[in-house]
Chain A
């Protein structure tokens, strides 16, 4: 059974720092992995999606990597800003799933001005 773990559960850093959020999964037979952002009391915003054949994806200050063999993904945020404060969730879609996503518990990120 696929399990997704995110470490750390919470992270607080000063504005301007570069930071890395981690996501690990137990079954490497994934179809893709997706990173989301959730603001308090809001829905989810898709940030980056990495297909199983890809190693990384970039969007602006965000870079997500995928090492399928070791069951790990990282989300790198460059030059963090207070507006980046949110909970970041990663989710994997298994190869044998009906589009279902298996979710990590999230990392709550606080960027201090």
Chain B
């Protein structure tokens, strides 16, 4: 089945650091990738939708200058948390799909746990 790889799985860094998270589709071309944030014991919150070759569409309340998304190729999207602060600590998950796979399940990465000290 389709595999989505997310890296790193865990990051601990100091406040003010910028952190980049990668999301790769390993066996299919992902025209669309989604970035989610999940707080403890809560469901997923969609942050942004990323289409290959175009600017990401951010959900209301998500700062695009804070959470930079790049989807430059059909197999890779990155989320950069700029000047991270403790309130940015969370679990970030990506998912990927392709325009021809709309009737198939979305596939998710294993998530990245971000802890800002």
Contacts and interface: CB of A to CB of B under 8 A. Distances in A.
Contacts of A99: 32, 34, 49, 97, 102, 106
Given A100-B46, A100-B49, A104-B43, A42 B111 contact: yes
Most central of B46, B95, B105 by chain A CB within 10 Å? B105
B108 A44 contact: yes
Contacts of B102: 31, 99
Interface SS of chain B: strand
B101 to A, nearest CB: 9
B93 interface: yes
B79 to A, nearest CB: 14
Interface string B79-112: 0000000000001010101000011111111110
Contact of A89 (B34, B43, B57): B43
Interface residues on A, range: 20 to 34
A46 B106 contact: yes
B62 interface: no
Interface of B: 6, 32, 34, 42-44, 46, 49, 57, 91, 93, 95, 97, 102-111, 113
18 contacts: A31-B102, A34-B105, A34-B106, A43-B93, A43-B110, A44-B93, A45-B108, A46-B106, A46-B107, A46-B108, A99-B34, A99-B49, A100-B49, A101-B34, A101-B46, A103-B43, A104-B43, A105-B42
